[in-house]
Amino acid sequence: MPELAAHIPDVPVNQIREITEAAWRTPGAITLSIGEPGFALPRHVLEAGIACLDRDETNYTPNAGIPALREAFAARFRAHNQVEVGAERVYVVDGAQQGLHFAMSLLLAPGDEVLIPNPGYPTFVMTSRLIHAVPVRYPLYPENAFQPHIEDIEALITPRTKVLILNSPSNPLGAVIGEDVTRQLVELAVKHDLWIISDECYEAFTFEVPHTSPARFDSVEPGKARVFTSLTLSKTYGLTGLRIGALICPPGLERTMNNVMEAIVSCVASPSQYAAIAALTGPQDYVDAAREHYRSNRDAASAVLSEKGIPFLGAQGAFYLWADVSHASGGDVRAWVHRFLAESGVAVAPGTAFGSIGEGWIRIALCGDQQELLDGVKHLPPRR
């Protein structure tokens, strides 16, 4: 048969899925390798999606989404970030991953370079490879609490650099970029005329520190604004399977955004959109309860790691713990997590799924049942 496109082998394997699918094949395994919220969805959200189907409202929606949903996303963004964003800049997408592909397809030509955090979410690299762009990883070092250094990023910028990807709160790190550094990162993008794609999937979940969106420091003038903001309801409301999120674009790009959206997915399923309206505009008890659950799980798991002498990054946001198991992993944490699963029945994500600086580290998901989480973490080998 004909060969696949030549660049497809350059799209790396997602090591998170690799270990998670191995766990799903292991009877009784404790799966701490994937970020899947474990709460039942609020009834009013489910009923909104069901009512859409009952009305047989199953036709196309506008490319950019149902107007009421675009306004609901915009209203939430205004309230949480003190940024004036109108609904005309909000594009409803088929989950944050489709939003990321949308933005990168819009901004990157073949051979263009995109700056990606290391450690950073694996689909940043996977998507850039898929569209023929060149991922360039900027380092986030343990000695700097995995925060970005402006100098490290600037040293990697070349005439081919077009996009800087930011992710705060971070998956996998749980780190939150502070206000001053966020402002400096936007200033760096202005200095070198770069676009910014800001992945804010976990913006609803921070602990002890506030979330700061780069959009706060962006220009509001068409032709000068440069920040695309990626949002999702997968994590905020546990709607992972409904595939619903938003991409907020700079002003002046509306017609182009519609055209590209039509070429990628046309529009998002209408039942998911009506469920999203209910989630955004209805009671927020789910979000508040989830935040406290993740905070409690973070504290409980952190205590176990401390007892075992295992170094970890104190999570400021998202729902992950980033832990150093280099004393046990023997320089190949990807292989070690599979041995650990086979021996203990516990799956954790290898740090190398997120970049070379993740060697020797693991990501532990905090979003499930607390007792199961603690049962899993207690199997980790202590540091002697």
- Residue type for position 354: F
Tell me what pLDDT residue 59 has. Answer: 94
**What is the CA 119 to chain-centroid distance, rounded?**
12
Map tokens 């008890």 to a residue: 285
Cα–Cα distance measured from residue 134 to residue 127, given in angstroms and rounded to the nearest whole number: 10
Q: Does the CA dihedral 146-149-155-158 come out positive or negative?
A: positive
**pLDDT band, very low/low/confident/very high, at 183 (cuts 50, 70, 90):** very high
pLDDT recorded at residue 1: 87
- How high is the pLDDT of residue 222? 84
- CA angle centred on 73, ends 248 and 46, rounded to 5°: 130
* Mean pLDDT value across the chain: 96
Q: Which tens digit of pLDDT belongs to each residue from 301-350? A: 999 999 999 999 999 999 999 999 999 999 999 999 999 999 999 999 99
What are the structure tokens assigned to 214, written together?
């780069």
Name the one residue in this structure whose structure tokens are 């402002």: 183
Taking the model in full, what pTM does it have? 0.96
CA distances (Å), origin 145, targets 122, 148, 320: 20, 9, 15
Q: Which of 119, 114, 68, 70 is nearest to 91 (CA)?
A: 70
Confidence category of residue 150, pLDDT binned at 50, 70, 90: very high
- Whether the per-residue pLDDT at 7 is higher than 80: the answer is yes
Asked if residues 190 and 221 have their Cβ atoms less than 8 Å apart, the reply is no
Residue 364: φ, ψ to 5°: -110, 120
- What's residue 88's pLDDT? 96
Query: DSSP code of 175?
Result: -
Distance CA 231, CA 248 (A): 8
Q: What is the separation, in whole angstroms, between the first and last Cα of the chain?
A: 55
* Size of the chain, expressed as the number of residues it contains: 384
- Write out the two tokens for 364: 């532990």
| β-bridge pairing 30-31 and 346-347 | parallel
Using the predicted structure, report yes or no on whether residue 191 has a pLDDT greater than 80: yes
Average confidence (pLDDT) over 178-206: 97
pLDDT value, residue 221: 85
* 147 Cβ neighbours under 8 A, 6+ residues apart: 140, 175, 177, 178, 181
What does the pLDDT read at residue 37? 87
Q: 10 Å Cβ neighbour count for 48?
A: 21
Query: What domains lie within the chain, and their CATH numbers?
Result: 8-41+285-377 (3.90.1150.10), 43-281 (3.40.640.10)
Q: Is the peptide bond before 169 cis (omega within 30 degrees of 0)?
A: yes
CA gap 217, 237 in Å, rounded: 27
- Evaluate the omega torsion of the peptide bond into residue 119 and state whether it is cis, within 30 degrees of 0: yes
d(CA 112, CA 193): 14
Q: Residues of 111-131 as b/e, b for ≥16 C-beta within 10 angstroms?
A: ebbbbbbbbbbbbbbbbbbbb
Give yes or no for residue 48 having a pLDDT over 90: yes
- With 90 as the cut, is the pLDDT of residue 11 above it? no
Beta bridge pairs of residue 31: 347
3-state secondary structure of 246: strand
For 134, counting Cβ atoms within 10 Å of its Cβ (0-12 exposed, 13-18 middle, 19+ buried), the class is middle
Residues whose CB is less than 8 angstroms from the CB of residue 4 and which lie 6 or more positions away in sequence, other chains included? none
Residues 126-147 have a mean pLDDT of: 97
- C-alpha to C-alpha distance for 179 and 147, rounded to whole angstroms: 12
pLDDT tens digits, residue range 276-303?
Answer: 999 999 999 999 999 999 999 999 999 9
Q: Which pLDDT tens digit goes with each residue over 68-77?
A: 999 999 999 9
User: Cα–Cα distances in Å, from 262 out to 65, 95, 98, 130?
Assistant: 11, 16, 13, 19
Cβ–Cβ under 8 Å, residues 185 and 164: yes
